[in-house]
Structures are given as structure tokens and as C-alpha cells.
Structure 1
Amino acid sequence: MMIARMIATVMGVGYLRPAPGTWGSLVALPWAWLLHVIGGLPLLVIGIIAAFFKGWWATSAMTKGSDDHDPSEIVVDELVGQWIALLPLSIASWRMGIDITVMWPGWIAAFVLFRLFDIWKPWIIGWADRRGDPLGVMLDDVFAGLFAAIGVVILAGVAHAI
């Protein structure tokens, strides 16, 4: 249970107040940067996949026998979703050989858009959240991350077209 708690709360970040989900998303940023710097896009993708499956397991372990399917201290889902939101930056950096930190406006956009979609929960994001199970806990943030990533690409297109 201790390992599950460490994974699910992202080493205790989920216990920070207020807004543990925002703290989880915030701590995901330097870790995404580190993964990208060490291994580029491939390592970030591997990190997303590994964190998703470990997070699903840890969420299952932490919520087993509980009526609360998504306690606020579980923030591994935010980490996964935030990393997905950052994928367009990692892709651009990887393909074009650009230092990923140069795209700092994209980092801000990815963070803000992910938090907005994660809180607002439109369409399929809300559907995943309403599943009421550990997979839904993870999936709503995966979908929020995908929506945010699309938003990052759209904003980059607009910014670079001007």
C-alpha cells in the first residue's frame, strides 16, 4: 500500500493544499522537462505509458473498498494528463532540434489548458470521470491532456501565422 500511495500521490504532492490537482500538474512540468532532456520524445512517451499503468494500479489499490473513487490526494492522473498536454512541445523539439525551454509560451498554454479541461470536464472528459472507477480517474485526465495538446497546437499555429 505504501508504494501505491507514493505513486498515486506523486510522492506526497497530492497532500498539498489548496488545489492538489494543480500542484500535481505543476510538479509534472519539471519532470517532463527532465524526461525530455534525458531521452527526448521517446522517453516522455514511455514515461506517459508507464505512469498511466502504474497510476491505474495505484488508484485501484488506494480506492479499494472506498466509496470515494477519486480522492483529491490522488494526482498521478494529473501528471499523466499534463505530460500528454506537453507532447506537442516535445515533438517539435525532437523533430526540429529546438531547445524545449525556448517554447516557454507553449508550456504555459499546456498547463493552463490542461487545468481548464480537467476542471471543466466537457464531453468525453466528463464521461470518463463519471465512470466512477480507477480507469475513469486516469482516463478523464488523458482526455483532458489530449484536448490541451490540441489547443497547444492550435495556439502555436495562430502565434506562428501572425
Structure 2
Amino acid sequence: MSPSKPAPIPPRRVLTDPVHFLAFGFGSGLSPKAPGTAGTVAAIPLYLLLSGLPLWGYLLATLIVIGVGVWLCGESSRRLGVHDHPGIVWDEFAGFLVTMIAAPAGWIWVLVGFVLFRIFDVLKPWPIGWLDRRVEGGFGIMVDDLLAGVYALVVLQLLAFAFTAP
């Protein structure tokens, strides 16, 4: 097996270890195809739960997800012995929550945010890809998705302004 594709993690190991269970997005990162996309889909219910909060509450919850994520992703990665294992998708949860800051209500905006986040997360425009290759540890796992979330947030807000302005 090539170094770029780590060995699959036994589902039992992920589902019975709280660190891996959370880092793998409640098991969504076990998806054999496109675990990052599966992780982002799994983040939608968390977003919907938090979207009813006032903006300050949503921001606080997002900061907690990010703060916990730096430790969680780093610890899961350390235990697996693989930096940024593809199944670790807590960073997708955090990036999607960043994308959806102050998003307009409605499923169309959830879908637009989802697509925008996935585009920026996959394409990794500068400096996302540069940071992804150079920053280590839990913060390194999180930083590319957080920046992809910021890029997607900006585009989402521009689209929302263009299509919802009176």
C-alpha cells in the first residue's frame, strides 16, 4: 500500500473509541469513498441544530468545535500513527460550520454552502494547499478546512446578498 493511502481502520476501533468516533465524524469518516464529503453531510444535522441559536451562540459553538477539533484531530492522528488520515473528518464539521456563519435560512443555502465548502476543500486554492502541506499536528489537520470554510463563507455571503437583497 502506498504511503498516500493508509490502511483502512477497523470500524470497531472507530466506533468504540470516543476520540476516533468523534474525529471520524460519528463514523461518517469510515465511508470507503469520499470520506470528506460524507463527513460534511454528517455535519449538516449539527449545523441545523446550531442554526437556531443567536449569532453569538452559533459563533461560540463554532469556536468550541474548532478548539476541540485541534486536539481531537491531533490525538486521533497520533493514535493511528497517520497524519491527517482521510477518515478524520471533524475538520470538515468545523469548516462547514464556518461556511454557514450567518447563512440565510433555507435548504437551498445549506446546499449552496455544502457545495462551496466541498469545492474549496478539494481544490485548496492558495494559501490553503500551501498550509495543508506545511502545518503539522491537529492544527495542521484543521487549518485547510477552516480556510476553505472562510472562502466558502465569503462566496456564500456574496451570493446571499446578490439573490436576497431587495
Determine if the alignment matches structure 1 residue 15 to structure 2 residue 18: no
- Do the aligned partners of 1:7 and 1:55 also contact (CA within 8 Å) in 2? no
Aligned residue number for residue 71 of structure 1: 85
Matches within 5 A, 1:6-155: 6-37=21-52, 39-64=53-78, 68-89=82-103, 100-101=105-106, 104-130=107-133, 131-155=135-159
Q: What secondary structure, in the 3-state scheme, does the structure 2 residue paired with 1:145 have?
A: helix
Q: CA deviation at 1:63?
A: 1.8
Structure 1 CA distance, aligned partners of 2:35 and 2:71? Answer: 20
Q: What secondary structure, in the 3-state scheme, does the structure 1 residue paired with 2:54 have?
A: helix
- Point out the structure with the larger helix share: 1
Structure 1's unaligned 5+ residue stretches are: 93-99
- Do the aligned partners of 1:36 and 1:43 also contact (CA within 8 Å) in 2? no
Structure 1 CA distance, aligned partners of 2:56 and 2:38? Answer: 25
Percent identity over the alignment is 32
Q: Which runs of 4+ in 1 moved over 4 A?
A: none
Report the CA distance shift for 1:65/1:74 in structure 2 as closer, same or farther (over 3 A).
Answer: closer
Question: When the two structures are aligned, how many residues end up with a matched partner?
Answer: 150
Structure 2's unaligned 5+ residue stretches are: 1-15
- Do the aligned partners of 1:128 and 1:137 also contact (CA within 8 Å) in 2? no
